Each structure stands twice: as structure tokens, then as C-alpha cells.
Structure 1
Amino acid sequence: MVLNRMNEVIEDFYKLFYETEDLALKQGIKCLTHTELHVIEAIDTDSLTMNELSERLGITMGTATVAVTKLAEKGFILRERSDLDRRKVFVSLSKKGNEALGYHNNYHNMIISSITKSIDPKDMETFLNVFEAILKNLRNKIEYFKPDSITEFPKNSIVNIVEIKGTPIIKDFFKGKGIDVYSTLKITKNNLRVVTVELEDGSTFEINSLDAKNLIAVKKEV
């Protein structure tokens, strides 16, 4: 019952918050989409490579490139190639981009102040403490959802295989050893040379580190 109510409250909050943000955009910066505004917010006062920007936003490089191209065409973003490595492109906010960022930040401050002014400060303090605890738990939980090579998991980790990279021969090789997508493995040894895993049937298998990098997994909750 409490979980259902919490889900409803969170969903309603995000829905209403983005509705008000959309209204603010239409009144202030009509030429920007939510996505473009969040790109501006992510860059802030920094000068970032495209890789850094995509990581900060949690999106693919391709998606970030499309957004940056549109923002550059609209005059909100500046792009500059590195003098040391011409393959690298740094993005930063133009004067117009900084004005949009300032407008967005002022809007956030205004709306938060407006919707919380009637709430008792003690209740706000309690709410913030609880919400910060939830955020901390969520950050920790993200680690379980991040796929990575099994070479990156420490000894005694229990993982679920979500992808097997490489050629069909490599995939068939692992399948022949009882390792396939959705297999659960326990890392019993992990060093620079080999990774030893224990399969669900209790058998163990030693894999050289180069081959082990083809096994992409997420940490399993225990």
C-alpha cells in the first residue's frame, strides 16, 4: 500500500513538474525543447568533450551529437576543436546559452520556493533527510544495473550475464561451457591473467582475461 502510494506521488510530481517547466519554456525560451534545455543544464559553466557530455547526461554519443548540433545552429552552444587533439571537440555555452541557463535556474528556484513556502520548516527538513536517504540508496542500486565485463567485478561477486560479445565462434565456445545470456555466475578468482567462475551447477571454469572481456554482466542482488 505504501509502495503504491509512493509510486503514485513520484509519478504525479514528475508529471506536474514537467508540465510547469513546459509552460515556462513556452513563455520564456520558446525555441528550446526539454532535451535541449537539459543539455544546456548539463554543460553549465564547463567545457566538455562530447564523450564527457554524453556520460554526464547518460545518453549515447549519437544522441548527444544530434542535440549539440541543433543547439549550435540555434546559437546556444559553442564548439571548438582541441589544439592538442584535433579529433576532440569541446562544447561550452555561448552568451545566449548562459542566458537560457540563468532563466532555467531562476525558474527552478522560483517554483521550488513557491510550492514549499506553506510547509513547516521542520517538515521540510524531515522530507529532505528522507529524500536524501532514498537518493543514496538509488545511487547504490544503480551499480546493480550497470553492465560491465566480468573482469571488472571483484572476487565473490555473483553476476548475471546480459550479453556475450565477439564472433559466433566465441559465443558458441561459451555456450558449450554452459555460459549463455541470463546465466548466473560467481566470480571465484579475478586477476590480470584469468577469471575463474562458478556456474549454477557448481562446476568451475577458468577463462583468460582477454576472452572474459566478452562476457558482459550485471551484479545480482543477494
Structure 2
Amino acid sequence: MILIPDLETIVILVPRTGTRALKRAIAERWPNAIHLYRHMEADGVPQGYDRWRKVGVVRNPADRLWSLYKYLRRFGIDHCQEHEPVYTAAMRASVVRPFDDWLLYNERVFTAPYDSAGTGRFYPFYTCRHPLPENRKSQFVYLRPDLGTELFSFDDIAALHELLDVKPPFINGTNLAPLPELTDQAHDYLSNWFAWDFEAYLYPEDAKRQRPSDFHAAAPPFYTNPLGLMGGAA
């Protein structure tokens, strides 16, 4: 979560939606910006600042989770060496399994303020209100358009950059390995847990008026991938 006083705008940072490049660009363009939390959700905006504009990016959930899976395989090695080694090792260990298996059964939380090394330390910067595993955390939980957050599709992220007057570099891109063929169980899982995300990614304006509970487990044919919505960006 980044507060930009010059614009009276708050940027909600959903993991694997171009956030690291964006935060660097914001810091350069807006020196007064405050990177208050790593991945705090929109319902964690500090009191008073909740009157400011809130913006965030929503990505195809299959692509986002595949990108996160690949990212974690090299976490603390190729990038993010600033993190506690015990934490990065635990993240890497969580993805020593096929993607389908990680998608269905992962229990490891990506962002939480609690120490991973047994020293009892607490890290306020990593605080979030809903410390769920990413494979069960809809982007709705991060963005909360029902609280007024404006959504930008990942495919139209340039519109957000223009709004914030920034030009982020391309960094932290994962390898280009495509999303592997998913089992029927994995397809059903994505359609169930992330139905809102698929809708919001394609129609961010319409998603403002919907909540995950508006979608039921028997997802409509739209989510069974006729449009390649579960196919593979890096």
C-alpha cells in the first residue's frame, strides 16, 4: 500500500501485478509517497486516508498464480535477497511440487508480519488484515471495489501508469514458461475460488458492483476457458 499525498491517492499492491516496478517508479516521481505496507488490503487503509482515491490492478488469476509460483521458485536467490533467509527458504520449499498440487493444497501464507526464524520479531511493514494463502485469496480481498477502489485490468496497466504519471521499468519478470495444462480439478478450483477475479480482469467497471458471493461454485461456461483465460502469461 502506497500513499501519494501529492495526488491524494492510495495504490493497493496485489502480488504479481507489476507492483515492484510500480513502487520504484512512484518513489522516483513522487518523493513524498509513503510505502506504508507491503501488501495491505484496501480495508486496511488508515483512518482519515480512506477519503482518498484508491486504485489497484486486477490480473487474470490463473496467470497471476502461475507467475507467483515461478517467482517463489527463485525467491531470495534471483530477487528479494533483502528478506530473511528462513522466510525465503520456506517460500521456495512451498513450490517444490507441481503447480496443480500447489494450487490445490498450498497452506503457506505469502505475506504476514510474524517472524519466520524463531526470534519473536514482528514486522509492521508486512501487516495485512487477511493473511490467507494466495491460492485461496481472491483479488477482491485485496482490492475491495465495494469500498471504492478503482480497478485497472493488468492488460491495461498503462492507463494506471498514466493516471499516476509514472513510467515503471520492467523488472521481476519470471521466466516465460507457459502455464501448464491443468487438470479438471484445478480448472474447477480456479473457477470456484476466483470467479470474481476472471470477471473483474475482463470487465473491471462491472466488477465494482459484484462480490465473490455473487458467483456460485457451479461456474458458468464462461469460466471453463473457451477464451483461453487460464492460459499462460509469464
Higher strand share: 1
Scaled by the length of structure 1, what TM-score is found? 0.26
Q: From the CA coordinates, give the structure whose radius of gyration is larger.
A: 1
Higher helix share: 1
Scaled by the length of structure 2, what TM-score is found? 0.25
